[in-house]
Structure 1
Amino acid sequence: MYLQLDPRNISFLKFLLEAYDNLAYLTTVSSQSAVIKLVFAPEQEQEVREFLESVRDEIGFVEILMGGRDGY
């Protein structure tokens, strides 16, 4: 799953994911455009989406839909 967000919020999101029992692994794909990739187990997708919805107002991000597997 790819997200784009304010670069100032990347560390905060990473902190929240770690505090949420390492729900997903976050890696920065492009620091210039502030695109990150979240990696998680397929069976956790619903939980990850619920978590993201719960922090959407605080962090402000958009999901980027990719055409291929790692098409970014």
Structure 2
Amino acid sequence: MARKRPRKPSPPLPPPHESSWLYARIAPRHIAMFRFLLEAQDNLGYMTVLDRGVGGGTNDNTAEDNGAARNRCGTEGGAPGGTGKGSTAPGADAVLKIVFSPHQEREMRAFLEGMRATIPFTVFESPLRARATSAG
């Protein structure tokens, strides 16, 4: 039997000009596990915490801290359902920003869907992006 010739590798995809991102609302106690599982998927993406959702007894945040954490997720009052950084409400949800390559959006969404079996969280799009697509 004749030996099969090795297949030529397909040309690589052109590099994207910008990253894609999603937001996740999660309990603060699950952030470490979320990061651990995301980092276990080699180079799929990374996350950053926009709003810790953990409050203390006093609200000693500066105006700069409150505005910076809330406005990054696209709404003036924080993420939908979020209570804001420094909130005194027990069980306030944290907001994470998940950044990944647009070429890997399908893989990222499948990974996040599978991770829901381990950690309870919800994924949502940027409120600004949703408004821009509905207006234009």
TM-score interval, smaller chain: 0.7 to 0.9
Q: Which secondary structure does the structure 1 equivalent of 2:128 belong to?
A: coil
CA distance in 2, matches of 1:66, 1:54: 21
Over the matched positions of the two proteins, sequence identity in percent amounts to 45
Pick from 87, 94, 115 the counterpart of residue 55 of structure 1.
115
Map of 2:106 onto structure 1: 46
What is the TM-score normalised by the length of structure 1?
0.86
| Residue 34, structure 1, aligned to residue 55, structure 2 | no
Runs (4+) of structure 1 moved beyond 6 Å?
none
Looking at structure 1, the residues matched to 40 and 100 of structure 2 have their Cα atoms a distance apart, in angstroms, of 15
Q: Quick one: distance in 1 between partners of 2:34 and 2:43?
A: 11
Cα displacement (A) at 1:41: 0.4
Q: How many corresponding residue pairs?
A: 69
5+ residue gaps, structure 2: 1-21, 54-92, 130-136
**What is the CA distance between 1:26 and its match in structure 2?**
0.6
- The higher-RCO structure (CA 8 Å, 6+ apart) is 1
Deviations along 1:20-63, one digit per CA (max 9) or x if unpaired, are 10311110010013000000000111000111111102111111
**Residue segments in structure 1 that go unaligned for 5+ positions in a row:** none
Superposition CA RMSD, Å: 1.2
Measured in 2, the distance between the counterparts of 1:49 and 1:16 equals 14
- Normalising by structure 2, we get a TM-score of 0.48
Which protein is bigger by CA-based radius of gyration? 2
